[in-house]
């Protein structure tokens, strides 16, 4: 079930990215507002409403909504029409890399060997895309395959 939901999330993320890229000169804050309202409506039946929510949680929820969704998504939707598809793909891999680094830097969470290897591969892939590296196939190097 987890793999299926992850694939669905990736598909929806790709759809949102394509939609954001095609918006062109549309106002990104309106796109962000529409996305937030649709998400709010879809998620409305899911929260556990029998328990009271502590006041401190509301502060964090507000910050997450205003800073992450409001500002970050507006900037993202403003930039998407001007970025190449390859750059957008690279950014999709950079986001989790930054999250891991922030977790390490601010919350002192150790980075394990597998995470370090994954981060290295992300950086190598990003460098390869930005510099236009290509893998040569046997056909390209010898003329036959």
At 101-144, the pLDDT tens digits run 999 999 999 999 999 999 999 889 888 887 888 877 766 556 55
Q: Please check whether residue 129 is in contact with residue 89, taking contact to mean a CB–CB distance below 8 angstroms.
A: yes
Q: Could you tell me the pTM of the whole model?
A: 0.59
At 69-93, the pLDDT tens digits run 788 888 888 888 888 877 887 888 8
Q: Which residue has the tokens 């299926």?
A: 4
Pairwise CA distance, residues 73 & 116, whole Å: 28
């Amino acid at each position: 079930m987890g793999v299926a939901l992850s694939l669905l999330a990736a598909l929806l993320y790709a759809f949102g990215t394509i939609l954001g890229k095609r918006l062109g000169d549309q106002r990104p804050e309106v796109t962000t507002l529409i996305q937030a309202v649709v998400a709010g409506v879809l998620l409305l039946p899911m929260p556990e409403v029998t328990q009271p929510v502590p006041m401190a949680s509301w502060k964090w929820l507000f910050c997450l909504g205003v800073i992450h969704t409001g500002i970050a998504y507006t900037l993202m939707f403003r930039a998407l029409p001007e970025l190449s598809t390859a750059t957008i793909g690279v950014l999709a891999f950079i986001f989790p890399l930054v999250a891991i680094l922030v977790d390490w830097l601010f919350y002192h969470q150790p980075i394990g060997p597998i995470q370090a290897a994954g981060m290295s591969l992300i950086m190598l892939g990003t460098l390869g895309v930005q510099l236009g590296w290509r893998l040569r196939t046997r056909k390209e190097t010898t003329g036959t395959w």
